[in-house]
Structure 1
Amino acid sequence: MLVMLQDLRDSNSSKFQVSEFILMGFPGIHSWQHWLSLPLALLYLLALSTNILILIIIYQEATLHQPMYHFLGILAVVDMGLTTTIMPKILAILWFSAKAISLPECFVQMYVIHCFVGMESGIFVCMAIDRYVAICRPLHYPSIITESFVVKSTVFMALRNSLSTTLVPVLAAQRHYCSQNQIEHCLCSNLGVTSLSCDDRTINSIYQLVLAWTLMGSDLGVIVLSYALILHSVLKLNSAEAASKALSTCTSHLILILFFYTVIIVISITHTAAMTVPLVPVLLNVLHNVIPPALNPMVYALKNKELRQGFYKVLKLNIKDNNA
């Protein structure tokens, strides 16, 4: 990807009058934004440590060698990849004022962010389907949600997101950046970068919109449908205890989904007010890429007895867990 974007840049060298972008950080608070480095660094360390811990627990505990936990492990890898794509550069900006980033590096970061965010959305879809089959088709669960299903669905999501997002940096690299090179952001977002171009960027905005609706929109639609069917199935149960137990297996997933998609929607809305409150969409964008990776493992560990027990065992804590 880096070589391809470098070739695109070289082939249009007559158009490119800037050799690098300057990531200014958080708009409106440049003079004291370095104070944000501590909470962001702690969130980054928390994201890495908790996701690594989740992977260790799933690997070591034989009882967790199930499709649901395999998806959780894949989500942990995606979360670590997403935070590592953006946080080192953000911390370098805040700590060392290392604001410069070459155009090809910026376009690659843009591509990887889109890939990982799309992949996280795709894994949420797989987890929703897993819960639907487990609750609505329990007798068919072992034959449908197999190791092969996990592998095939993960490969499909990886290919879908890596191929569909390729045009985002390619189209951005074809724009004409003639003079302005200061980006009022901590990372290379598609809209933030292309807003600096001197030529028409309509195609970039249209493709960003199409991508959001086709990927995120379809994913959210499948998730809503899955949980609507789950709720319909649970409401038909005669036992309130059985209904509560069935829904309890979904609460962790629902909490993460609500946070993930709510912030995406809020970011989209606040971009329309970017001229009046530019800090809000930038801050939300950064937090959206670091808070879910930090919180996902903890939400699952708090709501899942098997994960809690694995957590205690890995950390050699002699705690008796009586919660269901």
Structure 2
Amino acid sequence: MSETNTTHFTNPSTFILQGIPGLEPFYVWIAIPFCTMYTIAILGNLAILFIVKTERSLHGPMYYFLCMLAVTDLIMYTSTLPKMLSIFWFNAREIDFSACLTQMFFIHSVSGMESGILVAMAYDRYVAICDPLRYSTTFRIIVLAPIALAVVLRGAILSLPYPFLTRQWPYCRTNIILQPFCMHMAVVSLACADISISSYYGLFMLFCVMGLDVIFIAISYMQILRAIFSLPTKDTRLKTFGTCSSHLCAILTFYIPGLFSSLTYRFGQDVPLHIRVLIGNLNLLVPPMLNPVIYGVMTKQIRERLLRLFTHKGP
């Protein structure tokens, strides 16, 4: 694209995704681990969905929430990785303005949905351990459906302002996004206007939405740990805690990199740009890859079903 197209214009029809600035000579090699992550995430999450669907003993609330998590992970990878790989392999950096906004919406809405699913799973574990006699009545299908709908609607509705706020700003300096995908702050930072509203809304989502989710999960696990430590024997305590271990790992892989990435992008201006971009990439792409691995390895029922699947034994 010519210099005039990237320096003197108003409201561009396309943006240029830079990829990972400073690491252009290594794109072919960088694409290999990203492609491997893509393959693991797609196959792993599809395997989770297949196992839960075909194994009747897994038709329960925890596994339905796990299926929701797998679907959101698949959407996250589908909305980001193909474009990233096209940048790394084919130098296809242009993205239509509307496509950029669409990708932005899916990235942020799916992240919000995944956070909501982790909260729902924490509540599931809380009821199962702290009030097991009410578990079957609390998590019936007619209750699960509204919870699932609320999680999806919350993520979608709270993410709608991102593309609307982004579209309203004038862009008159450059259309080069120093990222391999369209994140909200990466795009609006190119605007030649006061973007305080966009910045404040992003912080609201980070602290008031994700933060409240973390607080709710923390409260749930404080009650869970109290119930576990009140159990009579060590073996019983370990077995009960084992039912939460995979969920705890999923929580850590989702929230810790996400918080670190958001704070680094806003306040870590002394951190080299390519490091910040790589951290942002890993924040989005590592949890969807690790979730099926975590649940496949740490959940006994899924692990046994996977072993039967790959050894060609009957169910």
Q: TM-score, normalised by structure 2?
A: 0.93
What per-residue deviation string (whole Å, max 9, x for no partner) do you get for residues 124-163 of structure 1?
Answer: 0011000000000011111101122221111001111111
Question: What code does the residue aligned with 1:209 have?
Answer: L
What per-residue deviation string (whole Å, max 9, x for no partner) do you get for residues 146-184 of structure 1?
Answer: 122221111001111111110111001101101311111
Which residue of structure 2 lines up, in the alignment, with residue 283 of structure 1? 278
Asked if 1:209 corresponds to 2:242, the answer is no
> Could you tell me how far 1:80 is from its partner in structure 2?
0.3
Question: What code does the residue aligned with 1:315 have?
Answer: F
Asked if 1:118 corresponds to 2:115, the answer is no
In the alignment, is the contact (CA less than 8 A) between 1:17 and 1:179 conserved in 2?
no
Which residue of structure 2 lines up, in the alignment, with residue 224 of structure 1? 218
Question: What code does the residue aligned with 1:191 have?
Answer: M
In the alignment, is the contact (CA less than 8 A) between 2:169 and 2:188 conserved in 1?
yes
Match of 2:39 among 25, 39, 45: 45
Asked if 1:296 corresponds to 2:296, the answer is no
> Could you tell me how far 1:317 is from its partner in structure 2?
4.3
Question: What code does the residue aligned with 1:214 have?
Answer: C
Rounded Cα–Cα distance in structure 1 between residues aligned with 2:149 and 2:277? 31
Cα separation, partners in 2 of 1:201 and 1:301, compared to 1, 3 Å: same
Rounded Cα–Cα distance in structure 1 between residues aligned with 2:136 and 2:276? 43
Rounded Cα–Cα distance in structure 2 between residues aligned with 1:51 and 1:111? 22
Asked if 1:264 corresponds to 2:258, the answer is yes
Which residue of structure 1 lines up, in the alignment, with residue 124 of structure 2? 130
> Could you tell me how far 1:316 is from its partner in structure 2?
3.5
Which residue of structure 2 lines up, in the alignment, with residue 322 of structure 1? none
> Could you tell me how far 1:17 is from its partner in structure 2?
4.2
Question: What code does the residue aligned with 1:24 have?
Answer: Q
Rounded Cα–Cα distance in structure 2 between residues aligned with 1:225 and 1:16? 49
Rounded Cα–Cα distance in structure 1 between residues aligned with 2:48 and 2:69? 10
How many residue pairs get aligned? The number is 305
Within 5 Å, which residues of 2 pair with 1:15-34?
16-34=10-28
Match of 2:162 among 154, 158, 168: 168
Query: Displaced runs of 4+ in structure 1, greater than 6 A?
Result: none
Question: What code does the residue aligned with 1:251 have?
Answer: S
Which residue of structure 2 lines up, in the alignment, with residue 77 of structure 1? 71
Match of 2:99 among 85, 105, 111: 105
Within 5 Å, which residues of 2 pair with 1:239-258?
239-258=233-252
The percentage of aligned residue pairs carrying the same residue is 36
Match of 1:95 among 67, 89, 93: 89
> Could you tell me how far 1:266 is from its partner in structure 2?
1.1
What per-residue deviation string (whole Å, max 9, x for no partner) do you get for residues 68-126 of structure 1?
Answer: 11111111011000011000000010011000011111111111100100111111001
Match of 1:200 among 194, 199, 209: 194
| Structure 1 unpaired stretches of 5+ | 1-14, 320-324
Which residue of structure 2 lines up, in the alignment, with residue 315 of structure 1? 310
> Could you tell me how far 1:31 is from its partner in structure 2?
2.3
275-284 or 302-311: which moved more?
275-284
Name the SS of the counterpart of 1:250 in structure 2.
helix
Which residue of structure 1 lines up, in the alignment, with residue 172 of structure 2? 178
Rounded Cα–Cα distance in structure 2 between residues aligned with 1:258 and 1:266? 12
> Could you tell me how far 1:268 is from its partner in structure 2?
2.1
Rounded Cα–Cα distance in structure 2 between residues aligned with 1:222 and 1:284? 26
In the alignment, is the contact (CA less than 8 A) between 1:16 and 1:178 conserved in 2?
yes
Asked if 1:305 corresponds to 2:300, the answer is yes
Name the SS of the counterpart of 1:101 in structure 2.
strand
In the alignment, is the contact (CA less than 8 A) between 2:61 and 2:144 conserved in 1?
yes
Name the SS of the counterpart of 2:25 in structure 1.
coil
In the alignment, is the contact (CA less than 8 A) between 2:115 and 2:210 conserved in 1?
yes
Rounded Cα–Cα distance in structure 2 between residues aligned with 1:165 and 1:238? 46
Rounded Cα–Cα distance in structure 1 between residues aligned with 2:143 and 2:288? 24
In the alignment, is the contact (CA less than 8 A) between 1:270 and 1:280 conserved in 2?
no
What per-residue deviation string (whole Å, max 9, x for no partner) do you get for residues 10-67 of structure 1?
Answer: xxxxx83422110010022122223111110111011000110111100111110111
